[in-house]
Chain A
């Protein structure tokens, strides 16, 4: 069983559209994260959720919104997509103070 899964793996969409990326973990972790890796392979944290509370919220555009229906899921919604949003988005999870487990990534291409 995959510990941290993301769907879809690839997402191609046009500017201005609204899209969502889903993340699920079956590890019983209490914290989940979203990261963005840009074309230069630089990783940056976007959000993390602990027990359904946002605990880190980086200076990302408010077009990005995390949604956590339960402890095992943290979905990423993106409104009014822009060309600069093209990147690989990684979900991860961890127990408090422990190592993170990463999902396989979602490659978003905005045309």
Chain B
């Protein structure tokens, strides 16, 4: 059953802690993306990766970090430097035809 998964669905953290969000895909797609969505807003690109061991900053990369050690995995770390980390985080991948496949999202709440 091919797809893209994110875990956990809900995540709660105290301010000042780093937290890592998981994104895994078995679609054999090269490109992967992380987006942030705030209430009533569209998606804003945080980071993207077109190939293993390479990634690029998106529009709002400050306070976030990523790694791409395996084709199927693209974890996102929300660091304590991110000033307003509470949001809905979406991971996506594409095989090169522009259509993006999205995971179910992780809702992060930082208090």
Chain A bound to chain B: no
What residues make up the interface of A, taking CB atoms closer than 8 Å to B? none
What residues make up the interface of B, taking CB atoms closer than 8 Å to A? none
